[in-house]
């Protein structure tokens, strides 16, 4: 009996292996194959928690009541391989609902989802009920439809189908071939009527199979049909890897394989012609004409409050600007949402909360009322990927910050700032392409990556004992983003004792006392004084000392040997650490590590580490500088090797021994 059971088990395992080896794209919907139902892992990526077995996107055009419409038909099949992979059962579809305004909206139809499970040798099919579908209006234009597929467990195959009918035939959303899970098979098809002229571009690190060919089309027209020629595009991808989260990278999906289509013009011979190629000047004007953008620029809703606070009497322009910002923050709190369009000031002030855009519109009006030039600076935040400057469209944008014209230069501020100061923005807003938009003035591109420079200067004065114990006075001054991050961490801590305890764990020492200055509210700097104790290894007459009481670099986050994606630092920074350790009487340094002086070829990364000992005092110095935040995939090895070298040197142990 045991032998029979063993044979059956081996046959089942062999069958699973053979199924994995012979898995073929299944383009029949509603009929998952036995191989799909019984597979337990995905050979190209054994660690995958789920996989896209098949994804098909098709865009069709038609004429309805004399106007073009675009139909986006999407079909997707997923396989859940691990417990965490069950999140593929939660779907989200975004579209321009726009209050169902005639000729200016999109409509989601034909949404259905089904879970397929293989149980006791039978296929169990579970359809999604309407109660598991919810709609949320993000604003007057955008609607989110959220849904959950029922009866999903490890091993489930999920199929989702839907269609979006769009009046915006001039815009084709980018088609993304890759996902945050691996994709076994994916395709994109679109047939473009001869009247349309598109710029079509494929981007990414993997080439897709593609076919572009002329074809005949038949469109509806006033109860009849319209025959015309068309251009058919078909792209197919096989075994595309997952775009997983990576350390030191904000938006992996923005670097994935994709097809972009931009409409240049529509021309129907003998009837009409329209050029849809937009410039950024066109985008500027459309934003200013939009009631939820340009319409929010005007009256100052807190005029009386500003007068009562005496804001106009503040001579220094920067201090006046920050007084205005503090006053605004007394009346409204950021709701942790970044948006491009804003709600009415009265609604925001009544609810005492709003998105960064809603707060920024009020801020601009207050600044202008106080005699300070202020403008919106539109952008695509770093977590959404890089802005394509050659593709002028407001759909490329998702938020904005405020530019204050101070003399001949700009300073920047945002409604989301809780702990910073002028020019200290959250790192997701430090983009290289942002556009200053203003009425009766040309738009202007600005680079924000050099803002929010973080500086930390620390001095450690320590006394080492023969048993390896050490006490030290540590003084640090943080400027810019480092100060903002300290304020942020302190503000979110349960209490000051918890903050001190977590910091001590991070530094691997005991903090016996700590004093902070400038850690509440807004400001440029924070100062910190600590008295700490630390235990080092000691054996006999030997003490093994690492002189860096503060952690300059706790690890090298770049562990991959190769990487096809960029590396991003949060902000430009300089960290300086000087330590002076008084040795026990009669003890000397056996040998000092060689000094390190390393710099990248372009000078964007540099580090100096050196130690010296004189008159019983060991002095060590480290200065680490990052002067740009974006490094291309070609520079990955440079960044990784630099961090490797610095990290290894910071782990050096200096042997202190008793003199003979």
Q: What is the pLDDT of residues 65-104, one digit of tens each?
A: 778 889 999 999 999 999 999 999 999 999 888 766 666 7
First-to-last C-alpha distance (Å) of the chain: 77
Question: What is the pTM (predicted TM-score) of this model?
Answer: 0.85
pLDDT, position 103: 64
**CA atoms in the 13 A half-sphere facing the CB of 384:** 16
Q: What is the mean pLDDT of the chain?
A: 91
Q: How confident is the model at residue 21 (pLDDT cuts 50, 70, 90)?
A: very low
pLDDT, position 427: 94
* Residues composing the chain: 660
Give backbone dihedrals phi and psi of 385, rounded to 5 degrees, phi first.
95, 175
> At residue 374, does pLDDT exceed 60?
yes
Rama region for 81: left / alpha / beta (φ>0; ψ in -120 to 50; rest): alpha
> What is the per-residue DSSP string for 432-445?
S-EEE--TTS--EE
Answer for the pair 172, 179: CB distance below 8 angstroms, yes or no.
Answer: no
Sign, CA dihedral 9-11-17-20, equals negative
Answer for the pair 204, 72: CB distance below 8 angstroms, yes or no.
Answer: no
Separation CA 628–CA 571 (nearest Å): 7
- What class, spelled out in words, does domain 454-473+530-658 have in CATH? mainly beta
pLDDT in tens, 161-213: 999 999 888 888 899 999 999 999 999 999 999 999 988 989 888 889 999 99
Second CATH level (architecture) for the domain 2-275? Sandwich (2.60)
pLDDT, position 641: 96
Structural tokens at position 98: 């726009």
Please give the average per-residue pLDDT across 646-653, as a whole number: 93
Residue in this structure with the two tokens 């050490």, named with its chain if needed: 470
Please give the average per-residue pLDDT across 580-599, as a whole number: 94
Per DSSP (E only), the strands in 222-355 are 224-240, 258-268, 272-275, 333-334, 353-354
Tell how strand 183-193 and strand 510-517 pair up.
unpaired
Please give the average per-residue pLDDT across 145-169, as a whole number: 95
Q: How confident is the model at residue 649 (pLDDT cuts 50, 70, 90)?
A: very high
Strand order from edge to edge, sheet including 542-545 = 537-539, 542-545, 654-658, 587-589
CATH number of 280-446: 3.10.620
The better pLDDT of the pair 1, 483 is held by: 483
Separation CA 550–CA 557 (nearest Å): 18
**CA atoms in the 13 A half-sphere facing the CB of 604:** 16
Answer for the pair 374, 336: CB distance below 8 angstroms, yes or no.
Answer: no
CA distance to 2, 461, 490, 532, 658, per residue, from 512 (Å): 66, 15, 18, 5, 29
pLDDT in tens, 380-417: 999 988 888 888 888 889 999 999 999 889 999 999 99
> At residue 632, does pLDDT exceed 70?
yes
Strand order from edge to edge, sheet including 133-137 = 90-96, 142-148, 133-137
DSSP state of 242: P
pLDDT, position 564: 84
Give backbone dihedrals phi and psi of 404, rounded to 5 degrees, phi first.
-105, 125
Q: Where are the domains of the chain?
A: 2-275, 280-446, 454-473+530-658
Structural tokens at position 471: 């006490």
> At residue 14, does pLDDT exceed 50?
no
pLDDT in tens, 101-139: 666 789 999 999 999 998 888 899 999 999 999 999 887
Q: How confident is the model at residue 225 (pLDDT cuts 50, 70, 90)?
A: confident
Please give the average per-residue pLDDT across 508-535, as a whole number: 95
Please give the average per-residue pLDDT across 361-366, as a whole number: 98
């Amino acid at each position: 009996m045991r032998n029979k059971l063993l044979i059956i088990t081996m046959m089942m395992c062999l069958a699973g292996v053979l199924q994995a080896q012979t898995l073929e794209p299944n383009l029949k919907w509603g009929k998952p194959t036995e191989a799909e139902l019984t597979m337990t892992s995905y050979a190209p990526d054994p660690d995958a928690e789920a996989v896209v077995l098949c994804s098909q996107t098709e865009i069709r055009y038609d004429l309805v009541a004399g106007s073009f419409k675009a139909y986006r038909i999407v079909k997707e099949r997923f396989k859940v391989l691990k417990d965490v992979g069950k999140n593929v059962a939660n779907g989200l579809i975004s579209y321009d609902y726009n209050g169902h305004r005639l000729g200016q909206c999109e409509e989601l139809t034909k949404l259905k989802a089904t879970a397929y499970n293989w149980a006791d040798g039978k296929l169990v099919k579970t359809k999604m009920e309407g109660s598991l579908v919810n709609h949320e209006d993000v604003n007057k234009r955008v609607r989110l439809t959220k849904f959950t597929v029922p009866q999903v467990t490890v091993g489930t195959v999920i199929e989702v189908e839907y269609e979006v009918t769009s009046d915006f035939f001039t815009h084709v959303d980018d088609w993304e071939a890759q996902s945050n899970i691996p994709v076994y098979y994916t395709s994109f098809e679109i047939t473009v009527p001869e009247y349309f002229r598109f710029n079509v571009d494929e981007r990414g690190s993997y080439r897709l199979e593609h076919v572009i060919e002329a074809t005949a089309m038949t469109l509806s027209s006033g109860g009849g049909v319209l025959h015309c020629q068309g251009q058919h595009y078909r792209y197919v991808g096989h075994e595309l890897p997952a775009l997983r989260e990576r350390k030191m990278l904000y938006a992996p999906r923005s670097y994935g394989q994709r097809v972009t289509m931009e409409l240049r013009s529509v021309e129907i011979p003998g009837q009409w012609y329209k050029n849809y190629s937009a410039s950024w000047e066109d985008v500027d004007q459309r934003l200013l004409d939009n009631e939820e953008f340009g319409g929010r620029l005007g009256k100052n809703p807190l005029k009386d409050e500003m007068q009562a606070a005496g804001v106009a009497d503040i001579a220094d322009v920067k201090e006046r600007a920050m007084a205005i910002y503090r006053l605004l923050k007394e009346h409204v709190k950021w709701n942790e949402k970044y948006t491009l369009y804003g709600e009415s000031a009265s609604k925001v002030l009544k609810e005492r909360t709003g998105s960064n855009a809603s707060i920024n519109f009020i801020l601009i009006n207050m600044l202008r009322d106080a005699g300070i030039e202020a403008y919106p600076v539109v952008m695509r935040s770093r977590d959404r990927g890089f802005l394509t400057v050659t593709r002028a469209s407001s759909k490329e944008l998702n938020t904005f910050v405020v530019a204050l014209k101070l003399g001949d230069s700009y300073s920047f501020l945002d409604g989301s700032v809780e702990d910073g100061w002028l020019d200290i923005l959250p790192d997701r807003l430090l983009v290289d392409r942002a556009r200053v938009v203003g009425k009766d003035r040309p738009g202007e591109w600005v680079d924000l990556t050099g803002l929010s420079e973080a500086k930390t200067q620390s001095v450690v004065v320590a006394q080492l004992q023969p048993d390896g114990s050490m006490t030290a006075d540590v003084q640090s001054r943080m400027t810019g983003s480092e100060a903002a991050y300290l304020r942020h961490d302190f503000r979110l801590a349960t209490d000051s004792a918890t903050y001190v305890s977590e910091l001590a764990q991070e530094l691997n020492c005991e903090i016996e006392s700590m004093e902070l200055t400038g850690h509440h509210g807004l400001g440029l700097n924070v100062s910190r004084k600590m008295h700490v104790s630390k235990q080092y290894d000691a054996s006999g007459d030997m003490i093994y000392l690492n002189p860096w009481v503060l952690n300059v670099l706790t690890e090298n986050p770049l562990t991959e040997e190769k990487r096809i994606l960029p590396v991003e630092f949060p902000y430009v920074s300089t960290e300086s650490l000087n330590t002076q350790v008084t040795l026990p009487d009669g003890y000397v340094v056996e040998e000092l590590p060689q000094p390190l002086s390393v710099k990248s070829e372009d000078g964007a990364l540099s580090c100096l580490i050196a130690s010296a000992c004189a008159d019983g005092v060991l002095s060590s110095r480290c200065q680490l500088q990052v002067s740009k935040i974006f490094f291309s995939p070609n520079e990955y090895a440079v960044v990784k090797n630099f961090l490797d070298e610095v990290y290894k040197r910071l782990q050096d142990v200096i042997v202190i021994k008793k003199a003979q």
